[in-house]
Structure 1
Amino acid sequence: MKIAPKPNPTAFRRYSSLAQDKSLSHRSVIFSFLTSGECEIQDFLRAEDTNSTLQIAKVLGASVREEGQKLLLTPPSQIVSKAQILCNNAGTAMRLYAGLLASREGGVYEFVGDESLSKRPMDRIKTPLERLGAKLSSSYAPFTLYPNKLRGIHFHSPVASAQVKGAFILASLFAQTPSSFSEPELSRDHSERFLSSLGAEILIQNKMLHIAPLKKPLSPYSFVIPNDPSSVIFFVIACLIGKNLQAEFENVLLNPTRIEAFEVLKKMGANLSYEIRSERIEPVGIVRVASSSLVGVKVEKNIAWLIDEIPALSIAFACARGVSEARGAKELKVKESNRINSIVSNLKALGIEACELEDGLRVQGGEFRSAKLKSFGDHRIAMSFALVGMKKEIELEGSECIEISFPRFFEFLSEYVEVVNGS
C-alpha cells in the first residue's frame, strides 16, 4: 500500500463515531457471564479481536442476538464444561476468559492463539491462577486450563497489566475467600470500574485491590461503548503534524488511565483539549485538536497508561524539535511485535535518528524521507507509520493487520492522505 500527502486535506473534521473502545468491547461481553439476565451493548466494536471474544461467548453457551447497533447477550444457565477457546490475536480474550473459567471445576478448556499471540507470555496469568488453585499446562499458548475450587490469596503482579488484573479479579470473584491484588503502578482500571458499578465488592485501599467473592449474580446492564482514545490518538497526531488542520472527536472515553498520551502531547506543545460530558460507568466527552509545532519530551511516568500509544507517539516524536525518550516501556517488547525494535527500524528507514534503549527508545526529531516500511504484522505499528503519509509518500507492507482493531482506519485517514493503491 502506498500512502502520500493529500494536496488539500479536509481543514476541519468532526467525528461522532470513529472506532469504539476495544477494551470495553471485550469486557462488556465477558462480564455478561457474571450477570443474572440479558445485557444490552450498543456500538460494540466490530474488529477481528473483539469478534473473537464474541464468538468465544457463543462457544461457552451465551445467547447472542443482534438488533441494529445493539448486541443482546444472555449468559448460559451453566457454562459448557469443555471447549476450545479460539482467541486468534486477542490477548485480552485469552487472559480474561482464563480468569473467568478458572473456577469451573471439572472443566477442561484448550486456549489457542495465532502465531503472534502464541509468542506472548502467559506466565503472568499462569502464576496467579495457579496460586488461586487452577492449573495451566503451559506459559504460552496453546495451553490447557484445568479449573478447580479456588481459595483467596494476595498477589503482587511484577508487571502493571490491566489484562493480568482483569483475569485475577474474574477468578477471585469465584474464590471461597477474599483476595487482594497489587502491581508496580496502577494499570488501566476498566475491569474494577465496570464490575464495581454492577455491585461487585471491589475496594481500592492504599493502591491495593480487595476483591470479595460474589454472593449472587450481578445485575444485567445496558452499556454504550464510547470511542476508543487509543484509536482517536492516530487522528489527533495526524492533525498535529499536518498544516492548518483542526478536528473534534465526540463520545471519546476519557478514563484518566486512558488519556495519558494526550497529556504527553500537551507537554510537547500540542493545541489539544478535552472535556467530560458524562460519567456513567466511565467518563466520556469531547477532544479538540489543531495543528501545532511540537517539541521533544521525556516520557517515564504512568507508562502502563500509554503503552499502546507509544507507537503513535513515536511519530509525534519524529516530527518534534529536539530529542524525545520513552523509558520504563519493556512491555513493548512482548506485544504483537517487539514494538521497540519495530518502531526504531521503521524510523531509521525514514531517515530519522532513533535508537533502542533497554527499556524504551530515543528519537531525534527530523525530516522524513520516502521509504518502504513494515507493519511487522502489528496493527498499531501499521497505523502509526501510515501517519507518515501526512508528510511523505511511503509504502507500507502488511497493512491488512489493521483489521485486528480498526477496520475503518483508512476510510477515515483518507480525509488527510491519498491511498495510492489500497488493501
Structure 2
Amino acid sequence: MVHSPPQSRLVAARGALLGAIAVPGDKSISHRALMFSALAVGTSRIEGLLEGEDVLATAAALRAMGATIVRRDDGVWQVDGVGVGGLMQPDGALDMGNSGTSTRLLMGLVASHPITATFTGDASLSKRPMGRVIEPLSTMGADITASPGGRLPLMVRGLCPAVPIDYTLPVASAQVKSAILLAGLNTPGITRVIEPVPTRDHSERMLAGFGADLSVTETAEGRVIALRGEAELRPQAIVVPGDPSSAAFWLVAASIVPGSDVLVRNVGLNPTRTGLLTALRLMGASIEEQDPRTVGGEPVADLRVRHASLRAVEVPAELAPSMIDEYPALFVAAAFAAGTTVARGAHELRVKESDRIAAMAAALGACGVAVEEHDDGLSVTGTGGAPIAGGATIATLLDHRIAMSMAVAALHAAAPITLDDAAPVATSYPAFFATLDQLTGHRA
C-alpha cells in the first residue's frame, strides 16, 4: 500500500455550515461486506462501499488470498468469493496500512485456514497491541508469532480444522468478537462468544444475511452469539449505509457553529452505534431524524442538525461501546458547552490509532480549553458557546479522528488551527475537506 506523505493543513472559522450532504459508507460494514463476500460461493455486489485506505487494505488482502474484487464503472464493487475454507496462501506480507479493523478481523479469517500470513502496518498501527485477538485465536489452535508487546509485524499460521471455543469477552470489543466468529466459520462445531456488554452487531446481522447458522441469545451472563462452523455462505447484494462515525463530525460542527443547519443523508442508526446521538441530545443538541427506513438490514435515517446551546453533562459510561470512535468529536462538543462535561468509561481510547485520551487532552489544551485527563476519559470545561482560542499546531499522531475532530474545533475558534498532518483523514473519509468546503460555500 502506498502511504500518503504528511500534509499540513490550516483550518479557520468560516461561518455557518449550511446544506445537505451524504457521508461515506459505514467503515465497519464495508470491511465485513468484503470479507463475507470473499467467503461466499458466487458473486456478491456491494453498493456504497467506503473507498478509504482502511477498507482498500482489506480488499487488497482478500485479493492476495484468492478472492476476485473489482470496482465497476458505476461505483458498485463486485466480489467473486472462494468459499469458506477456500482462502489461498498469499505470496507476500499483507500490508494493513493504518487499519486495526482489517488486521484483527483478517487474523481471525486466517486462523482457521491452512495458510500462513504475515501482517504488517504503518508506524501507528505497529504500536497497537493485538494480544486481545491473539489470545482467543491461539486457543482455537492458530500459531501466532508477534513482535514484542503483541504488536505488528506478526505471523499467523492457521489450523484446519481449528478448535471451537466458548469465549467471554474480557473487554467490550466488536473487533475481537468478529475475529472469533470469522475463525469459527471454518471451524467444526459451534463457536460461542459471550458479551457481558453489547457491542456493535454488524457481524451478526450480516452473517445471518449470508446464510450462516447463527443465533443470539440474551442470558444472565450477557449476549451469547453461537455460530455453527463449516458454513456455506450465499452471495448477497449489499447496500452500505452512511457511516455514523463520519456523520459525527458534522453533527458536532453544526451544533457548535452559530447559524448552522445541515442535513446528513442516509446515516446508519444501528442501536449499537448511536451513543453519540444520545450524548449530544443530553447536551441539548438539535438533531432530528427524518425518513427512518431500513437499508440492507440496517436502520437508516436522514439527520437534520441545527446550531444549539450545549450544556455540560456527565456522559453515561454505559454509552461507551456504542460511541467509542466518536469520543474525540464529543470532546470537541464539550469544549463549547456551558459547564464541565465528564466523559469516562472509555479505556479503549488508549489503544486506538493513537492514545486518543492523551491526544485530545493535548490538542484541546493547546487551543485554550480547560481539560482534565482521566485514565478512561476527559473532563472538559466549555466556553458556553463562545469561540475557543485556537491558534495552535496540533499533533494528529497519524490518527484520522484526531485530525477531523480538531478541524471541527477550528470552525469556531478565534484563531486558525494547524493540523500537522491531515493525510490520515484519507483512511476513513477522503472527501472530508471537500465536504467542509461544500457546507461553508468555500468561505475561507
TM-score range normalised by the length of the shorter chain? over 0.9
Partner SS state of residue 369, structure 1: strand
Distance in 2 between the 1:232 and 1:383 partners?
11
Match of residue 46, structure 2, among 41, 44, 61: 41
Does 1:318 find its partner at 2:329? no
The alpha-carbon deviation at position 218 of structure 1 amounts to 1.2
CA distance in 2, matches of 1:150, 1:382: 41
Does the alignment pair 1:94 with 2:114? no
Q: 1:5 aligns with which of 4, 13, 27?
A: 13
Q: Secondary structure at the match of 1:114?
A: coil
Please name the residue that 1:346 is paired with: 363
SS of residue paired to 1:203? strand
Alignment partner for residue 370 of structure 1, among 390, 398, 404? 390
Q: Does 1:391 align with 2:412?
A: yes
Query: 1:266, 1:376 → 2: CA distance?
Result: 30
Match of 1:284 in 2: 300
Q: 1:419 to 1:357 in 2, by over 3 A?
A: farther
For each residue in 1:218-255, what CA deviation from the matched residue of structure 2 results, as whole angstroms up to 9, or x when unmatched?
11000111111100110111111111221112211110
CA distance in 1, matches of 2:129, 2:231: 33
Amino acid at match of 1:125: V
Report the Cα distance in structure 2 between the residues aligned to 1:215 and 1:318, rounded to whole angstroms: 50
2:167 matches 1:155: yes
Shift of 1:279: 4.8
- Could you say what the CA RMSD is over the residues aligned between the two structures, in angstroms? 1.6
1:66 corresponds to: 71
Q: Give me the whole-angstrom Cα distance separating, in 1, the residues matched to 2:295 and 2:403.
A: 32
Q: Is the 8 A contact 2:186 2:230 kept in 1?
A: no
- Give per-residue Cα distances to partners, 1:342-394, cap 9 Å, x unaligned: 11111111111101102111101125113222212211000000012221222
CA contact (8 A) 1:81 1:104 kept: no
Identity across aligned pairs (percent)? 35
1:307-329 Cα shifts (integer Å, max 9, x gaps)? 10000011100000011111111
Matched, 1:110 2:127: no
Taking the aligned partners of 2:442 and 2:357, their CA distance within structure 1 comes to 28
Note closer, same or farther for the CA distance 1:298–1:417 as it changes in structure 2 (3 Å cut).
farther
> One-letter code of the match for 2:391?
A
Aligned position for 2:155: 144
Shift of 1:209: 2.6
1:19, distance to aligned residue in structure 2 (A): 1.4
Q: CA deviation at 1:169?
A: 0.5
> Is 1:226 matched up with 2:241?
yes
Instruction: Give the corresponding residue for 2:3.
Output: none
Contact 2:284 2:309 in 1 (8 A): yes
1:79 CA displacement: 1.7
Gaps of 5+ in 1: none
Which blocks of at least 5 consecutive residues in structure 2 are unaligned? 1-8
Query: Aligned residue pairs: how many?
Result: 416
- The answer as to whether partners of 1:4 and 1:419 remain within 8 angstroms in 2 is no
**In the alignment, which residue of structure 2 is the partner of 1:209?**
224
Instruction: Tell me if structure 1 keeps the 8 A contact 2:24–2:48.
Output: no
Classify 1:252/1:346 alpha carbon distance in 2 versus 1 (closer, same or farther; 3 Å). Answer: same
Name the CA shift for 1:210/1:224 in 2 (closer, same or farther; >3 Å).
closer
- Aligned-pair distance for 1:202? 1.9
Letter in 1 for 2:120: V
C-alpha offsets along residues 160-203 of structure 1, whole Å, 9 cap, x if unaligned? Answer: 11110100001112222212112341111110111012221221
**TM-score of the superposed pair, with normalisation by structure 1:** 0.95
- 1:123 alignment counterpart: 131
Report the Cα distance in structure 2 between the residues aligned to 1:279 and 1:404, rounded to whole angstroms. Answer: 24
Residues 173, 211 of structure 1: 8 Å contact kept:
no
Which moves more between the two structures, 338-347 or 77-86? 77-86
Opposite residue 182 of structure 2, the aligned amino acid is L
Aligned mate of 2:440, from 395, 413, 416: 416
Task: Give the alignment partner of residue 324 of structure 2, picking from 291, 294, 307.
Answer: 307
User: Secondary structure, in 3 states, of the residue corresponding to 2:318?
Assistant: coil
Retained in 2: the 8 A contact 1:26–1:50? yes
Q: Which moved more, 1:217-226 or 1:308-317?
A: 217-226
Deviation at 1:216, TM superposition (A): 4.3
- Match in the other structure for 1:24: 29
Note if contact 2:172-2:195 (Cα within 8 Å) is conserved in structure 1. Answer: yes
Q: Distance in 2 between matches of 1:341 and 1:419?
A: 32
Distance 1:345 1:329, change over 3 A: same
C-alpha deviation, 1:82, in angstroms: 4.1
Offset, 1:108? 1.2
Letter in 2 for 1:255: N
- The verdict on how the C-alpha distance between 1:417 and 1:399 changes in structure 2, with shifts beyond 3 A counting, is farther
**SS of structure 2 residue aligned to 1:247:** strand
SS of the residue corresponding to residue 354 of structure 2 reads coil
Match of 1:124, SS state, is: helix
Amino acid corresponding to residue 285 of structure 1 in structure 2: A
AA at the equivalent of 2:155: T
Alpha-carbon shift at residue 417 of structure 1 (Å):
8.1
Partner in structure 2 of residue 260 of structure 1? 275
CA distance in 2, matches of 1:314, 1:170: 34
Q: What SS does structure 2 have at the residue aligned with 1:95? A: helix
Q: Which residue of 1 aligns with 2:256?
A: 241
AA aligned opposite 1:288: R
Distance 2:341 2:253 in 1: 18
Structure-2-length-normalised TM-score: 0.90
The amino acid of 2:183's aligned partner reads A
